[in-house]
Structure 1
Amino acid sequence: MKLWLTALLLCLSSPLIAAECREQTYKDNRYVVCDVDLASEDLRLFLKDDADEVHGYFSSLNSALKENGERLGFAMNAGMYHDDRAPVGLYLENGKQEQRVITSDGPGNFGLLPNGVFCIGENRADVIEARKFVKRTPQCIYASQSGPMLVIDGYLHPRFLIDSTSRYIRNGVGTSADGRNATFAISRNTVTFHEFGTFYRDVLKTPNALFFDGNISRLYAPDIGSYGVGWNKLGPIVGTVIPAE
């Protein structure tokens, strides 16, 4: 009886559910949106395995997790990286820092300030503008810096153009004001920054949202038949972890 009760309590106290993913359309653009409740789900960032090799693929990460009796529930690429897959900006995994935060402007989307940091703490997650992050020094267990910000305190990034012709498959993350929910989205068709940011602001209604990538955007969500297969290796990966079946 005691053994049965202990097992039941462990099940009730452990995150056993994967993120809920759904298809959504807004102004003729199609998206997949995945919601993560930080109070009940185990959300982590991943870059390298125990041999210091970059995971690179969702399948490789799943193989590594399997050794601990775990698997991915949902995952996507989570920030920009160099040719060797090293993160461009701040990267923190299980308390260990791989790269420092960068607050200066520069080339490319990452340098299109303001950029931001996705911070996973104890039972919460936040998207924080990078310069505010430096001033606040929040307690992050995991963190990934990327850019540009899509939504900043309820406002679109000031440099997004409504008539832009730059269109890509894009993915990102937004967080609720209380930090309890993280909402990940990836477009099914090519979209502009303005369209993607507006989707986060007006539909998903996250006060802060961060762009992850627009060239190599992939989603692992087997519940909706998406496995994120691709030739090129990924850098940082964010995902929920659940017990292996």
Structure 2
Amino acid sequence: MIRPIAVAGAFLTLTACASNGGVDDACRKITFEGTSFTVCRADPQKHDLMLVDKSLDGRPMRDFTGLQPRLGDRYPRIAFAMNAGMFDAAGLPIGYYVEDGAEQKPLNRRPGPGNFHMQPNGVFWGDAKGWHVATTDDFAANKPDHVRFATQSGPMLLIAGKLHPKLAENGTSLTIRNAVGVGLNGSAWFAISNEAVSFGRFARLFRDKLAAPDALYLDGAVSRLWDPVSDRLDGGTPIGPIVVALQTR
């Protein structure tokens, strides 16, 4: 069951302070079911979301350091950035990927091993109507005429408020994970665990704390966050596509 009171508390916490640079704090640490998470809220009235995969030279970026030359005068408006989907050995997306309205990788509906292919997987995308998360099949059946950005990943964590049918309530697979969900008010919630967590608990975070009935797993173990306001800059294994939240007002 979705808990509106908990959601309201999280919203107040996340919007409580601003950085000295004029960019508001979009991210906060919270504890859910005894596990520490950092959650970042992108507000459609306040933020613009974009995906970035390649640096100016056309090669996969692989970390956050290439964002400054790539974004130019938009760089100081970054509220946060996070890895945003699974990738191959070269750092290129393995699923559907759209950047600035241009499709760079088609929808991947092939069977295969690993989390990406745990059906149903899904797509996080933005269009003229807002930000969305849906299963790959639902997205394919209702694909809008113009997709501004999109990243395909998997598995889905939540589908209409229900846990993915193959996820245990608290399984034995524990690792650092990150994911995205879209709330009932249209906000996009990005979460990263600060300690190892099961798929089931991670899914419940979106359902019971963030009121996001549809949520998509982005990755695990390589998960990384850059939150300029709190001076958090995760290092580690090279990543693939990156989602960037830019403050617009």
* Fold conserved between structures, TM > 0.5: yes
Aligned residues, how many? Answer: 225
Residues 32-181 of structure 1: pairs in structure 2 closer than 5 A: 32-65=38-71, 67-71=72-76, 72-122=78-128, 124-138=130-144, 139-177=146-184, 180-181=186-187
Counterpart of 2:9? Answer: none
Cα distance in structure 2, aligned partners of 1:46 and 1:200: 24
Cα distance in structure 2, aligned partners of 1:69 and 1:44: 11
Cα distance in structure 2, aligned partners of 1:192 and 1:143: 26
Counterpart of 1:205? Answer: 211
After TM superposition, give the deviation of residue 55 of structure 1 in Å: 1.6
After TM superposition, give the deviation of residue 239 of structure 1 in Å: 1.0
One-letter code of the match for 1:239?
Answer: V
Cα distance in structure 2, aligned partners of 1:119 and 1:147: 14
One-letter code of the match for 1:44?
Answer: M
1:65-95 CA-to-partner distances (Å, cap 9, x unmatched) read 2x33533220000000000111010000001
Contact 1:31 / 1:187 at 8 angstroms: preserved in 2? Answer: yes
Of 216, 231, 244, the match for 1:239: 244
Counterpart of 1:10? Answer: none
What is the TM-score when the length of structure 1 is the normalising length?
0.86
Stretches of structure 2 that go unaligned for 5 or more consecutive residues are 1-21
Contact 1:174 / 1:206 at 8 angstroms: preserved in 2? Answer: yes
Structure having the higher Rg? 1
What is the TM-score when the length of structure 2 is the normalising length?
0.85
Cα distance in structure 1, aligned partners of 2:24 and 2:60: 24
After TM superposition, give the deviation of residue 220 of structure 1 in Å: 0.5
Say what the alpha-carbon RMSD is for the aligned residues: 1.7
Contact 1:167 / 1:191 at 8 angstroms: preserved in 2? Answer: yes
3-state SS of the aligned residue for 1:125? strand
> Kindly, what percent of the aligned residue pairs are identical?
36
Cα distance in structure 1, aligned partners of 2:225 and 2:110: 30
Contact 2:55 / 2:66 at 8 angstroms: preserved in 1? Answer: no
1:83-136 CA-to-partner distances (Å, cap 9, x unmatched) read 011101000000111111122432100000110000012361100110000000
One-letter code of the match for 1:168?
Answer: T
User: Does residue 1:220 correspond to 2:220, yes or no?
Assistant: no
3-state SS of the aligned residue for 2:117? coil
Moved more, 156-165 or 107-116: 156-165
Moved more, 156-165 or 166-175: 156-165
Counterpart of 2:14? Answer: none
Cα distance in structure 2, aligned partners of 1:69 and 1:83: 29
Distance 1:123 1:19, change over 3 A: farther
